[in-house]
Chain A
Amino acid sequence: DTGVSQDPRHKITKRGQNVTFRCDPISEHNRLYWYRQTLGQGPEFLTYFQNEAQLEKSRLLSDRFSAERPKGSFSTLEIQRTEQGDSAMYLCASSLSRLNTDTQYFGPGTRLTVL
């Protein structure tokens, strides 16, 4: 247990439905990252926050994806009008940004299956 939690751990939904995932980082960590991982691949960066500010969004993140970190603590990732191609593991990580010691701590992931 790294101290980063994600909820739910598994989500099965029908195409076209909206889903929302939650990530609770380690409490003192100011940075929070979202990644997506498909089978047989390494994680791919989606977006990240420093406190409540969203600093960058990957071009992988279509308009159907939105992420928030309203109070600089937990974060949510919402996918609207899900498609089968959204099926993947969604990973969250947090870090305390310091020079040269930005180790990221990963949560267990949310596995999304879109039918």
Chain B
Amino acid sequence: KNEVEQSPQNLTAQEGEFITINCSYSVGISALHWLQQHPGGGIVSLFMLSSGKKKHGRLIATINIQEKHSSLHITASHPRDSAVYICAVPSSYNTDKLIFGTGTRLQVFP
């Protein structure tokens, strides 16, 4: 069974700060997903990555397959970045299924 752990659970920041959210998983995977969930429930897929680094605007996701660890970075954070950030990995016995972390709640204050 693949377990997914995220840290921190909660994070507050001042506008402009550099943010890092971490995700660790227990078994080998083909790809890891980072998702964003705003109040009200809607989930948006941010990244799917299997190696190295991906960048989209102010968001950067990295993954270290050997260490089974991924990080999501937000540069120049803004109050509109306030959301829950969730990482997810395929289940070890059925890669069609995703196993989700509990999420990191980020609040960015002006």
Q: Give residues in A with beta carbon < 8 Å to B.
A: 2, 31, 33, 37, 40-45, 48, 55-56, 89, 91, 93, 97, 100-109, 111
Contacts and interface: CB of A to CB of B under 8 A. Distances in A.
Interface in B77-109: 86, 88, 91, 94, 96-103
B41 A108 contact: yes
B48 interface: yes
B26 interface: no
B30 interface: yes
B51 to A, nearest CB: 11
Interface residues of B, number: 25
Contact of B100 (A40, A42, A56): A42
Contacts of B42: 2, 106-109
Interface string B1-30: 000100000000000000000000000001
Contacts of B99: 45
B40 A108 contact: yes
17 contacts: A2-B44, A33-B98, A37-B41, A40-B102, A41-B102, A42-B100, A43-B98, A48-B96, A56-B97, A91-B41, A91-B43, A100-B30, A102-B96, A103-B45, A106-B45, A108-B40, A109-B43
A93 B42 CA distance: 11
